[in-house]
Amino acid sequence: MPIRGIRGAVPVRTNSKAAIHAATRTLLRRLLAANRIPVEEIAGVVLTATPDLNADFPAYAARGLGWSGVPLLCAQEIDVPGAMPRLVRALLLVNTTRAQREMTHVYLGKAASLRPDLSGKRSR
């Protein structure tokens, strides 16, 4: 079965454990809902946070959703001058027979400006 990638990003209000977890949970739930994906079809997730978000790991939010069997990896985004601050990004790798063009990417709030070509739209 092919693996497809689904991207998303969400701004985080403050550098706190609660804010990082809340934003990450919202993003992950929206990604699954937009793509009608059961957790069992997730092959793995890469989560990144901007350098100004260091109060906790975004992956703990996924564990809090019950994703105990999903391989998760957290990393820090490259610290590019002028880049959008306080942002969590996600790359879901899912097992699916659907084509890549059928995947819907989710960019919430001001993160939608990062990829206006993909915000709430299917891949091209």
Residues recognised as catalytic: 7, 63, 74, 77, 89, 107, 115
CA separation, residue 68 to residues 33, 65, 98 (Å): 19, 8, 25
With CA atoms as reference, report the closest residue to 94 among 61, 67, 66.
67
Exposure class string for 16-29: b at 16+ Cβ within 10 A, else e: eeebbbebbbbbbe
Find tokens 């100004």 and name the residue: 52
